[in-house]
Amino acid sequence: MAVSEECNLGIRTEPDLSLDIQRMRSELIETTKEMKKNQKEMLQRLESKFENNKNSLDEISDRLQSFGAFIPKIIKSNGNPGKSEKKFKLKHVFKNVNEFKENEQNFSEKEEHFNANWCIMTARFDDHLGLYVFCEPNDPSDKWSIRTKSEYKVFDKNQDVVIRTSEYCYQENQGWGCPRFQEWEDMKEWFLVDGNLTVEATVTIIETTGLGKEKIRKFDESQKNISDVILVVKDIKFYVSKMLLAAQSTVFKALLLGNFKESNQSEVTLHGIDPDDFHNFLEVLYGEPAIDDNTVEGVALLADMYDAPNVIRKCEEFLLEKSKKALEKKLEIASRYQLKKLEENCISEIKAIENVRSGVSTDNDHQSKFDFYSKSRDEQQ
């Protein structure tokens, strides 16, 4: 018995391994399914989050691009006008300067810029070369003024230059400049080329008064009840509608309705512009026929500065259909403000004139003529 019990105690029974393996396999399959499910859900969440972030980034990028498109124009309208300055260049080659007599005045051809005619005058005064810029407004009032800053240049034989500057406020039809720009003998030795003298004057108009046309519409305090913002230009207040301006100008839309501090102000000061030009510009924005040969250049300048395409279109239509300005002046304005229809029309007219003058001109002749005017345009900018 004892042995038998001892023997029974010594016997080990083998477990059923197939059942354990099957159970473990089932558990592993379930665990794997759960892991795959969790992985899939996590992947979906990550993809969704990435897509949302991508959309947000795309939206931010689009906004930044849109914002960047009008930021330069806002900078222009806040005292850094750049190419939107009232600035132009006069250049002339005076012939046979050796033969100039003492106190004899010699004039370049007149050029129209910003509602006035301008020209360069040279003279021999007290054995010195004198350089002057003359100004003659087109349609001035009894009291008018044009305050300018001018830079005068003469070119020597190596195309180096001598420069003088001055500031002056024109209040009558007269010239202003440098009566003793250069000693006459030094000028003859160093600056004459085949007896000719190349002179250049760059004029920047700082401020004008008394040159504006008769006003069609009022923007003074009488318009207070139908305005929601006051725009201030050189101490002159313009009572206007934010929504009307924003509807026609991306710059005003950003400035008056965007995230700039000006959007919360009842008065907004605009820098670097002429109040008469701005009044004319506002009249066009409000639908008035304020564009004529005296106003179109100033209105086009502000339309470009404030990105007002409808006003630019009206300026182009006037220049195409009604303006009496010289062809060269129209082409200069067209090139400056990217008025494609006007530019094409001017080039076509130039080609027709050349055909009449010299027979049928070649395309190269036409291109050379266009390049000449384009170069003049670039210099004036």
**In whole angstroms, what is the distance from residue 169 CA to residue 149 CA?**
9
For residue 151, what pLDDT band results from cuts at 50, 70 and 90?
very high
Count of alpha carbons within 13 Å of 166, Cβ hemisphere only?
Answer: 17
User: What's residue 344's pLDDT?
Assistant: 93
Mean predicted confidence (pLDDT) in 237-260: 94
Q: Average of pLDDT values for 183-203?
A: 91
pLDDT at 142: 82
Considering the domain 85-209 in this protein, what is its CATH number? 2.60.210.10
Question: How far apart (Å, rounded) are the C-alpha atoms in residues 329 and 332?
Answer: 5
**Is the pLDDT higher at 204 or at 74?**
204
Residues of the chain above pLDDT 70, percent? 71
Give phi and psi for 269, each to the nearest 5.
Answer: -90, 130
Q: What mean pLDDT do residues 325-349 have? A: 92
Sign of CA dihedral 264, 265, 271, 274: positive
Tell me the mean pLDDT in the region 111-136. Answer: 92
Q: What is the mean pLDDT of residues 124-135?
A: 92
Give the residue from 142, 219, 112, 110 showing the smallest Cα distance to 120.
110
pLDDT tens digit sequence for 258-312: 888 888 899 999 988 889 999 999 999 999 999 999 899 999 999 999 999 999 9
3-class DSSP state of 327: helix
- Greater confidence, 79 or 130? 130
Residue-wise DSSP of 7-18: HHHH--PPP-HH
At residue 330, the pLDDT reads 92
The whole-number pLDDT of residue 146 equals 92
Query: Are 104 and 96 spatial neighbours (Cβ–Cβ below 8 Å)?
Result: no
Dihedral of CA 92/97/103/106: which sign? negative
- Does residue 98 have a pLDDT over 60? yes
* CATH numeric code, 221-380: 3.30.710.10
> DSSP letter at 306?
T
Q: Can you tell me the mean pLDDT for 119-130? A: 92
User: Which whole number is the average pLDDT over 137-141?
Assistant: 83
Q: What is the mean pLDDT of residues 98-123?
A: 91
Question: What is the mean pLDDT of the segment spanning 10-37?
Answer: 57
Percent of the chain with pLDDT over 90: 46
| pLDDT above 70: residue 150 | yes
Task: Report the pLDDT value the prediction gives residue 64, as an integer from 0 to 100.
Answer: 40
Could you tell me the two tokens for 77? 């309208």
- Output the pLDDT for position 341: 94
For the chain, which residues make up each domain, given as ranges?
A: 19-76, 85-209, 221-380
Q: What is the pLDDT of residue 47?
A: 62
Task: Give the pLDDT confidence score for residue 3 in this predicted structure.
Answer: 35
- Answer yes or no: is pLDDT of 133 > 90: yes
Beta bridge partners of 235: none
